[in-house]
A and B are shown apart, each in its own frame.
Chain A
């Protein structure tokens, strides 16, 4: 079954409510997202899901040279950063989009849906 990444974005620096407008909203969103995740798992869609610590805690590593170079901060400079994600399995994009709509409602943010490579698409890449 095709796999999709559903990504959520949020502010680079989060407020005390992890980017939500209030403590109540944060708690409600956590509860809604937890419920959504349970449903995903029950219906056989969930591969993995988690939320990330804020982007300022990231370290960027370049290991292409003789010695690795470590830089404080995320790879891209932006006002908004990748904040959490689901990896799901869905029959096709229609199903993935309807799951993403529910995910977006639960986590209170826009969700980007992107397909993973498949064994066929990798094979096509390797063709001469």
Chain B
């Protein structure tokens, strides 16, 4: 709804505020008057009226003609170019090259993902005030510099794609392991990310990274049902009931990555980040049991990923796979080198705690679990970590 209002009124603040006011009014009226026949339509109409009211208040004298265009919604038949969907249009605007990369992602999560500033700050490992300032500044620049709410031209789409894919993947990740709130998995966000992924693929069917990202999300989402226990506890990959995995999603994801797997396995063709991550997930989903996992292939894929993206998170994941081949001691030695950049990241401490446990260092393991529990924002993850800590023989 925000995306549609933003397109129509060409102003993010007005769109966000109007949507907020409409929801507030619904909360007040619907319990009293009953829910309208078409709740979505009611909200959109109400928000549109609120936005027009605000514009009228703000420019009572100057812009009669502007008001006139607001009253007639002639936005839908406008020639739109390759991207028909409002949300996708808004994503491309939020990912405009004139905005700093970190602002693009933050803005998209705020406006399209509907995440709170706190959630976005957590996802980026930065202070909430820093994030709030980043978003405010980006919105102010869009307005002051007249960054258009327009479908990018065909020539621009490819250039802007890398930032868009990063954003979609982040939205997916935030949904798959929510950083705050009571829900372990926020299906609204994972579904939204997959929807955007499908739209991008419909738009650019020949792009290997677009297919790679969609495959990655499908192969990950396929395991969703097995990922949280009935008691609301996170279940790690090795303990998951593989029978509960969604075979249809796995088949769809595997088919998407299948054409690329040959290229990924060969050294000649440069496979992108999402294709490599999808290939790693395909190794997991094709293993009948955790014990059958081809860890050496996973390590090899992470090695190639590290060439593209030498980030500490990639090295952390590689170390996890390495521990399965060479033992927890080797994994731990790798991981301990990542302490300075990852000390504030809960998964780093969770991985450390597990390796320490397997090495029989219960005291150190408990301390690492404590740190992980402290930093984890997700309740299912906290429950899992707490149980593992309490199971340590002291």
Contacts and interface: CB of A to CB of B under 8 A. Distances in A.
B146 A2 contact: yes
B107 to A, nearest CB: 15
Contacts of B143: 121
Contact of B148 (A93, A115, A123): A93
Interface of chain B, helix or strand or loop or mixed?
loop
Contact of A93 (B59, B62, B98): B98
A96 B144 CA distance: 13
A115 B62 contact: no
B147 interface: yes
A72 B146 CA distance: 38
Contact of A115 (B58, B96, B146, B156): B146
A119 B59 CA distance: 11
B271 to A, nearest CB: 31
A120 B66 CA distance: 13
A94 interface: yes
Interface string A94-125: 10110000000000000001110001110100
Contacts, number: 31
Interface string B94-111: 001110000000000000
A37 B146 CA distance: 23
B147 A92 contact: yes
A123 B143 CA distance: 14
Contacts of B145: 93, 113-115
Nearest to B149: A92
Contacts of A94: 147-148, 150, 156
Contacts of A113: 145
Interface string B121-152: 00000000000000000000001111110100
A100 B306 CA distance: 36
B98 A115 contact: no
A12 B148 CA distance: 36
Interface in B81-105: 96-98
22 contacts: A91-B148, A92-B146, A92-B148, A93-B145, A93-B146, A93-B147, A93-B148, A94-B147, A94-B148, A96-B146, A97-B97, A113-B145, A115-B144, A115-B145, A115-B146, A119-B62, A120-B59, A121-B143, A121-B144, A123-B58, A123-B59, A123-B62
Interface of B: 58-59, 62, 96-98, 143-148, 150, 156
Interface of A: 2, 91-94, 96-97, 113-115, 119-121, 123
Given A93-B96, A94-B147, A123-B62, 4 more contacts: A93-B98, A94-B150, A94-B156, A121-B144
- Sorted nearest first, the 7 A-B pairs with minimum C-beta distance are A92-B148, A2-B146, A92-B146, A115-B145, A93-B147, A93-B145, A93-B146
